[in-house]
Amino acid sequence: MPPGAVQLDVRSPYTGTVIGKVPLTPASGVAQAVEAAKAAASSWKDTPLRERTQYLYRFRQSLERDLDALAQLAASEAGKTVAEARAGLLKGMEVCDFALSLQNLDTGAHLEVSRGVSCEYRREPLGVVAGITPFNFPAMVPMWMFPIAVTLGNAFILKPSEKVPLTACALGELMCEAGYPAGVFSVVHGGREAVDALVAHPDVQAVGFVGSSAVARHLYAEGCKRGKRVLALGSAKNHLIVVPDAEPGLTAQAVVDSFTGCAGQRCMAASVLLAVGNVDPILDDVVFRAAKLEVGPGMGALIDRGALDRLETAIARAEAEGARVLLDGRGRKPQGEPWSGGNWLGPTVLDNVRPEMEAARRELFGPVLSIVRVPTLSAALAVENASPYGNAASIFTTSGGVAQTVVEGVRAGMVGVNVGVPVPREPFSFGGTGDSRFGHGDITGPSSLDFWTQVKKVTRKWSARTDGSWMS
């Protein structure tokens, strides 16, 4: 730790106690990290792709070896359950698998376009790139970015949320263990000062971000103003559409899992249930199943006291605006002294929410489900389309025609049919539309390759030809 460095306390959402400390990185420290990355980028770029994948292969082996310990660490600082943290790591490993496949899949292209003339493209790294990631997935979201970016030949700087820096440090240690050259991967810590320093630095060529739409919009504008590539994923207000012919048991469980998983702290969580016509038996089952969930380590905690206060205020405001609280999670806490300092909110279901109410419009980021009743499928699509966000939407039905109408009609970039959390598996990429994404392309999958690289086109001719076309 540098002399005089300011230390940041890391508190567990489960207990409120300090579980670790990290030094905050000042702007000068960010500049040093960029300089080290810049120095490493040149030789790393010249390392053949096949050799670069060997480093990632060793990193992935270490991830698999330390999976349980990493899941425990991520859960302890993010408030996730251990099972959820483990699932996030496995999703990150899936992105590693995609990056490892690039040595065989992304081999460029070469074509003889005319007699004696050929064209090809070469994919070249940008140099120094950065990722700014949120608290809710301390391992998965960073691994959406750096395995692909580094394997493509870039030097990567990770700035994790200051609320969950410990998992990022552990990932950095595994990158060192894998043998990556110094400067190819580094971690800086802090809040806005560190972010601003990364975005402003002239040698940082591209920035990936996941967080709120307000910050995503700001970073996108600031980065583009400086000529950088920016892909910033923002907030979400995901809609689950339930129609009368939906399979009752499957639907009720999927809805509960979607809005309570990760304590509702994920951009793919169900937020609004659009009840088309009379689906009250399914809604009753949703409430019944959610009420049986035990608040505590088996469900997960909110990240901090500020999140709890914000959610309790939002529930009270919805109630004052006319919503009916079918299930109230306020005040619910697990038994036992170890959890008395934690940030707890039980599953909460609000009925008779109107589309113009805050509970139907703004991302609450907690285990709160707002039911908006609509008479027709067309009315449900109108509500979904009116949202400024476009991350995810799902339809619950046994009718293929209804499902296809929703798939074609929703605005969201990720759509589920009888799936409560429609996260695509790799190589199908992750990304929304509207105010859920600022920039072009997706953060994973094939389109991410173009974000982290520059495609160079080469046209060759070696000799004059008398039998050529106009291009010869």
Q: How far is CA 316 from CA 28, 309, 400, in A?
A: 44, 11, 39
What distance in Å separates the CA atoms of residue 185 and residue 316, rounded to the nearest whole number? 45
Beta bridge partners of 233: 210, 437
Give the DSSP per-residue string, 90-108: HHHHHHHHHHHTHHHH---
Query: To 10 degrees, what angle do helices 140-151 and 165-177 make?
Result: 30
SS3 of residue 36 by DSSP: helix
Backbone angles phi, psi at 253, to 5 degrees: -70, -40
The answer to whether 92 and 63 are in contact (CB under 8 A) is yes
What distance in Å separates the CA atoms of residue 125 and residue 4, rounded to the nearest whole number? 36
Query: Cβ of 8: how many Cβ atoms within 10 Å?
Result: 18
Q: Which two tokens stand for residue 146?
A: 């750096």
State the DSSP code for 263.
G
Q: Which two tokens stand for residue 18?
A: 């300090």
What distance in Å separates the CA atoms of residue 440 and residue 437, rounded to the nearest whole number? 8
Among the options 96, 176, 262, 267, which is catalytic? 267
SS3 of residue 124 by DSSP: strand
Place of tokens 């001719």: 461
- What does the buried/exposed string (b/e) look like for 98-126 if buried means 16 or more CB atoms within 10 Å of the residue's CB? bbbebbeebeeeeeeeeebbeeeeebebb
224 catalytic, yes or no? no
Please name which of 392, 440, 430 lies closest in space to residue 240, comparing C-alpha atoms. 392
What distance in Å separates the CA atoms of residue 46 and residue 34, rounded to the nearest whole number? 19
Longest dimension (CA), the chain: 89
Beta bridge partners of 206: 129, 229
The answer to whether 178 and 58 are in contact (CB under 8 A) is yes
Q: Which two tokens stand for residue 260?
A: 């309570």
**Residues recognised as catalytic:** 267
